[in-house]
A and B are shown apart, each in its own frame.
Chain A
Amino acid sequence: MSIESLFLSPVYLPLLGAALLMLSRSFFKKETQKYVSYVAVILGLVLPLLFLIRIAGEVYNHQQVQVILGAWQTNLGIHFTFDGLSFLLIMLNLLVSIPVWLYHNSSGQGYENFTTIFLIQSASIAAASLTSDLFNLFVCLEVMGVTSYVLVASSGKNQAILSSFTYLMFSATAMVFFLIGVFGLYRISGSLSYEIIAEAKNNLNGSELISAKLSLVLIVTSVLLRSAVIPLSGWLVGAHSNAPHAVSAMLSGVLIKIPLFALVRLLLLVIDTQQLGATLAWAGGISALGGILLALREYQAKRLLAYSSISQIGYVVAAYGLAIEYGVESITGAVMLSLAMLYAFSHALAKATLFLTVGRATDAIGTKDLRRARGGIRALKNQGESIPLTFISFLIASLSMCSLPPFLGFWGKNTLLYAAKSHNVAILLTITSALTIMAYMKLSYLFFPDKTIQEPIKQVSMPHTPVLPFLMLSTLLLAGGIWFPQAEHFVLTSLAPLGSRTVPIQSYRAYQDIVKTGITVLIAIAGFFLIIKTKASKYIEVKEVKTASFSNLFFGFALSVGILAYQLLR
């Protein structure tokens, strides 16, 4: 089978699976429906993964497919492009969503439409990464959004419904601005395909150019809101911390990164984006530092993880911004783009593992409050977990997050910092990596032995340990660490057709910075104990949980549009 016949399978197979499931609800009993859901997942998630692995060789050899759906004329039909970028994004989605689905299935907390919605979401992610059509991107982002609002609300807790409502209002409003941006670009080019828009925009001048740039600003800002970059991140914490564990893992791991990378196709085609790239890089740096500072103030395990996601997406945005600033035709730009992608992988795998393990541990202990929750290993042992697999997976993921060897995060973060070292943003990112270690030390309280042996706060009976998902995610993190040079080479090569055709040679190997990593860890440990001993944490910690307010959203949005417009127009 060839690449042409397989590349659309990540879009239509999940949809087929979802349709099967919905049909089965009207024909079969509950018991049979369960088997249908296995069939649907194998069809919708596992089969596309196998197909993608099958065509990985072609992607590595720079084969591309460009089609217009339904064989319409060039300026009417929807353009789809399959290349290294879409391959990697769909891979990212499938590698995380299969373990996440397995976890949810074994957790037994039933929301019976979960699998259907999950599959539709997977299809929309694949479509967003394939599309080269601005309006189609809008539709994919909306489908992605609607499915995630439903999944967040599916936890059934009232807090989750409020978070889902806030998330919906924020992102639906942003999408209206996106649509205004689409209008501005359609007006100048008479088309929605990225290539024609970019060509038209690059030939403009005068007032037309200003309105085209403003439209671009609106589109970029709405995408940044979906990716939760500070100051547009207010909605994320509530939505990600109140959702069911599996959904949090999916949203934090995959969903916030897809809009960002889907937009890169348009940004690479448009000229004069150096200023935009520089602004994005700084936004990423500020987001990384701000996110981790907010995370350190939290004492609720899942809220801490959610804030850490804002911080980690900051690294991705910083690398992405630098790639646009340098231009992907240049070797530094190409390296930065592939490092952004690799960092996205490393964060997705680690954060998904963390949400799943921390969720399981807090369920077993009976509280999410890090000031009281202790003895996670013992609590899980009481649930029949003789080998502390949850703890081991947690450890692997947090070590990777803190960028300690030999895991994927160590290579990802150090290579990124090395490549960005000539830019001032690297300072912000380096400070953040020390603070990240402190945040995860705080989180590891969950698994500290409980000195005052007491009865569990709430006795719960839990399902068996989901062995397979934890093993899959941990193995991927470890394998990514061991074969990082090969992975980096693969990503660089497959992303090369976007910019420079020659594949740059990376001579940097992260172990030359192992001493630096050691020093960072020592600083972090010293800082952590300093705060604990001086009781400074009392002053830092949040007093009450706040929900994101709409006036803050308005302020953040206006600020981002203002800054971007100023940078682009001056």
Chain B
Amino acid sequence: MTIERILIFLLFLVGFSAIVGAKNIIKKVFGLNLINSSVVLLFILEGSRIGSQAPIIGEGVTDIVDPIPQALMLTAIVIGVCVTALALALSVRLYKATNSLEIDTIQERLKGEH
């Protein structure tokens, strides 16, 4: 159990360092996706600790895992996709306007406009 948690934490750190450190805006969007996925994995992992069978109640199925975290994460994934799509659309507009994907260059080139 510990090794999975450490891996999830590392995934989160990779994503977070991309958001804070990366200069490329597409990498920032990737970072956002990574931290989102790590939280999704965390929910699924912890949700599966109790019980052993898939939560589809039928004949002889008794020991089911908690289905709520999975339902929640479906919603979270959908929201993540929406936010990513919007972020990428904005990145395209920024690239068209400044011909660059580096955040510093973009800020530099847009400085004159208000």
Find out whether the CB atom of B75 lies under 8 angstroms from the CB atom of A135: yes
Query: Could you say which of B86, B90, B110, B113 has the most chain A C-beta atoms within 10 Å of its C-beta?
Result: B90
Query: Could you say which of A159, A165, A368 has the most chain B C-beta atoms within 10 Å of its C-beta?
Result: A165
Contact of A158 among B20, B32, B110 (CB under 8 A): B110
Q: Tell me the residues in window 67-86 of chain B with beta carbons closer than 8 Å to chain A beta carbons.
A: 68-69, 72, 75-76, 79, 82-83, 86
Q: Which residues of A contact B90 (CB under 8 A)?
A: 149, 153, 161, 164-165, 168
Given A146-B82, A551-B20, does the pair A162, B39 have CB atoms closer than 8 Å? no
Report the Cα distance A65→B87, complex, angstroms. Answer: 38
Find out whether the CB atom of B68 lies under 8 angstroms from the CB atom of A76: yes
Find out whether the CB atom of B113 lies under 8 angstroms from the CB atom of A159: yes
Q: Which residues of A contact B (CB under 8 A)?
A: 76, 135, 138-139, 142, 145-146, 149-150, 153, 157-159, 161-162, 164-165, 168-169, 172-173, 176, 179-180, 183, 186-187, 190, 192, 300, 368, 544-545, 547, 550-551, 553-554
Q: Which residues of A contact B94 (CB under 8 A)?
A: 158, 161-162, 165
Find out whether the CB atom of B113 lies under 8 angstroms from the CB atom of A176: no
Find out whether the CB atom of B113 lies under 8 angstroms from the CB atom of A158: yes
Find out whether the CB atom of A142 lies under 8 angstroms from the CB atom of B107: no
Contact of A146 among B66, B86, B107 (CB under 8 A): B86
Find out whether the CB atom of B110 lies under 8 angstroms from the CB atom of A554: no
Contact of A161 among B46, B68, B97 (CB under 8 A): B97
Q: Which residues of B contact A551 (CB under 8 A)?
A: 20-21
Contact of B25 among A149, A165, A187 (CB under 8 A): A165
Q: Which residues of A contact B79 (CB under 8 A)?
A: 139, 142
Of the A-B pairs whose beta carbons lie under 8 Å apart in the complex, a sample of 22, sorted by A's number, is A142-B82, A146-B83, A146-B86, A149-B86, A149-B90, A153-B93, A161-B93, A162-B94, A164-B90, A165-B91, A165-B94, A168-B83, A168-B86, A172-B87, A173-B16, A176-B39, A183-B46, A186-B68, A186-B69, A190-B66, A545-B111, A553-B20
With CB as the reference atom, state the residue of chain A lying closest to B87: A168
Find out whether the CB atom of B35 lies under 8 angstroms from the CB atom of A176: yes
Q: Which residues of B contact A165 (CB under 8 A)?
A: 25, 87, 90-91, 94
**What's the tally of chain B residues with a CB closer than 8 Å to chain A?**
36
| Secondary structure type dominating chain A contacts | helix
Find out whether the CB atom of B111 lies under 8 angstroms from the CB atom of A183: no
Contact of B106 with A by CB under 8 A = yes
With CB as the reference atom, state the residue of chain A lying closest to B114: A159
Q: Which residues of A contact B76 (CB under 8 A)?
A: 138, 179
Report the Cα distance A216→B90, complex, angstroms. Answer: 32
Q: Which residues of B contact A138 (CB under 8 A)?
A: 76
